[in-house]
Amino acid sequence: MKDKPMNIFLTQSPNLGRAKAFLLHQVLAAAVKQQNHQVVENAEQADLAIVFGKTLPNLTALLGKKVYLVDEEQALNAPENTVAQALTEAVDYVQPAQQDVQPATASGMKNIVAVTACPTGVAHTFMSAEAITTYCQQQGWNVKVETRGQVGANNIISAEDVAAADLVFIATDINVDLSKFKGKPMYRTSTGLALKKTAQEFDKAFKEATIYQGEETTTATETQTSGEKKGVYKHLMTGVSHMLPLVVAGGLLIAISFMFGIEAFKDENIAGGLPKALMDIGGGAAFHLMIAVFAGYVAFSIADRPGLAVGLIGGMLATSAGAGILGGIIAGFLAGYVVKFLNDAIQLPASLTSLKPILILPLLGSAIVGLAMIYLLNPPVAAAMNALTEWLKGLGSANALVLGAILGGMMCIDMGGPVNKAAYVFGTGMIGSQVYTPMAAVMAAGMVPPLGMAIATWIARAKFNASQRDAGKASFVLGLCFISEGALPFVAADPVRVIVSSVIGGAIAGAISMSLAITLQAPHGGLFVIPFVSQPLMYLGAIAVGALTTGVLYAIIKPKQAAE
């Protein structure tokens, strides 16, 4: 065993201190490399594992591996001998009984690792991370929060962090890869609850955390103890999260193309063909891919990696047939559940198991979903989408005003929650069908709550304490960026009055925008994309009227500070 280069995984007993574990890892890693072997970060890649401490960890990934348990003092004093002995004396790993794993408790020094992720990867991702960090630091615990936003993962949790963790706290609204946390006590909730009810969620986490065995064995836990709906909502938001960059980039490129003239892209001689090139990139590529990517990641959320290709294919078929976002939703869910069923139903010998994800599931899944989309689903769905598109394009001002008010009110009910996201997905989805008025109404209304709260703190200054007035300043900036969650501190303190004021103002902003037939191709950006709307000054007026309505109304109905 010791004559060939080995992949070695280093870890420690569950109760070993974080500082000592880090030191031992560094010392043993150097000894491993000195003997021409390689340290790997994932147990799945290892030929053997060296565990320093008194007891073996409960890690499913070590099943079938050789392990060597060494006293930490011996490992620290003689790392080279430890590695040599591990190569010759390692034994088959025996997983400790579940009851032998000590659950995390709320008392004493704790090492907490957390992951946050929301559909847009902007507001809730980072606000919940800040809330988690602040709460843990107040309790005197060590904490590290990995944020998985639109720019990728930041503050990445390392293998050493995972090994030393007493609790893995997952606050996500979309499905994310959690494979590196196998074998650790884990609690899962939403970003909203982690932000608004941090203490409550940590209390529940210490009582209800269970050993994470991987997605393949924990699908039943997808409905968490958070009390918020998961399942369908989480799958949809996973698709939206991955689709958004395409819609933003494509929409803005199309808008820039229109700045040369509404039909400038039809003439290759204008500006050296730049308008046409921008339209080809934005409309021909980005918008053509958006439904496929959406459907692919809905399927990925349901069936993991085997569902991705099938969802992409189903989504592209929906796009080609003109079935739009409705076709993408159907394709994504169909692909995900078909692949999930096939994966559970098809049982192969161990020697052939590797064929399932790369041959059997993509082949059968694509054939079933593709044929269903072409022959059964695309024709009626495309007809329904065409009817909806024509209806929206032909709306009179009265009907447009009503629809705008409904969408605007929905955007302000739960500030980033399911109702807000339903309106947002509708606006975003209609962009793919070249209907841009709902998106403009949605964004105008979404900016109202944080702007309105800022205005309220200015005109009724005496009713707010110093921290609330500071929150108002931050809320104003977030509102300009179309981050509705900027109003959440006010919602938490006074939910009924804030939500009522916001819904009224948001409905007014949405109604004005829709009744004026203002269009917007980009689904995010706030103030930064207003130059790309069809009527910028009127659009700013709609936002201002809605925000002032919310601000003045809340300033009037909010009780005086002394009465709180």
- Residues in the chain with pLDDT values less than 50: 2, 98-103, 216-229, 563-564
Q: Same domain, yes or no, for 124 and 51?
A: no
CA-to-CA distance for 488 and 465, rounded, in angstroms? 16
Residue 389 included in any domain: no
Whether residue 225 is contained in a domain is answered as no
Residue 167 is which amino acid?
A: L
Write the burial class of residue 270 (CB in 10 Å: 0-12 exposed, 13-18 middle, 19+ buried). middle
Helix axes 418-431, 232-258, angle to 10 degrees: 40
Q: Which of 179, 212, 245 is the last residue of a domain?
A: 212
Could you tell me if residue 503 is inside a domain? yes
Q: Can you give the pLDDT at residue 329?
A: 92
Domain that holds residue 86: 7-93
Start-end of H helices in 304-436: 305-320, 324-345, 355, 361-372, 378-393, 397-411, 418-431
- Provide the edge-to-edge strand list for the sheet that holds 210-211: 152-154, 142-149, 111-117, 167-172, 185-189, 210-211
Q: 94: phi > 0 → left, psi -120 to 50 → alpha, else beta; which? A: beta
Residue 366 lies in a domain: yes
Q: What per-residue confidence (pLDDT) applies to 91? A: 86
> What pLDDT score does 101 carry?
44
Q: Identify whether residues 277 and 351 lie together within a single domain.
A: yes
Residue 67 lies in a domain: yes
> Do 376 and 406 fall within a single domain?
no
**Single residue among 59, 93, 127 that ends a domain in this structure:** 93
535 shares its domain with 491: yes
31, 80 contact by CB (below 8 A): yes
From 183, 212, 241, the end of a domain falls on 212
Residue 359 backbone phi and psi in degrees, to 5:
-130, -60
Q: What is the Cα–Cα distance from 232 to 235, expressed in whole angstroms?
A: 5
Distances (CA, A) of 138 to 175, 198, 374, 409: 29, 12, 57, 37
pTM: 0.65
3-state percent helix, strand, coil for the chain, nearest multiple of 5: 65, 10, 25
Q: Are residues 268 and 244 in the same domain?
A: yes
Tokens at residue 524, please?
Answer: 């995010």
Q: Give the pLDDT confidence score for residue 107 in this predicted structure.
A: 52
| Same domain membership, residue 510 and residue 426 | yes
* Co-location of 365 and 409 in the same domain: no
Q: Judge whether 288 lies within some domain.
A: yes
CATH of the domain at 185: 3.40.50.2300
Catalytic residues: 118
169: three-class secondary structure by DSSP: strand
pLDDT at site 404: 93
| Residue where the block lists tokens 């918008």 | 287
Q: Is residue 54 assigned to a domain?
A: yes
On whether both 21 and 161 belong to a single domain, the answer is: no
Q: Residues 400, 378: one domain?
A: no
Residues 362, 307, single domain; the answer is: yes
d(CA 12, CA 16): 7
Residues 258, 124 share a domain: no
- Give yes or no for a contact between 151 and 119, defined as CB atoms under 8 angstroms apart: no
Quote the pLDDT of residue 3: 61
What is the spatial distance between Cα 8 and Cα 38, in angstroms, rounded to a whole number?
6
Alpha helix stretches (DSSP H) within 213-304:
232-258, 274-279, 287-303
Is residue 249 domain-shared with residue 374, that is, in the same domain? yes
pLDDT at 120: 66
Structural domains in the chain (count)? 4
* Beta strand ranges found along 98-164 (DSSP E): 111-117, 142-149, 152-154
Q: What is the DSSP letter of 273?
A: G
284 found inside a domain: yes
Predicted pLDDT of residue 398: 80
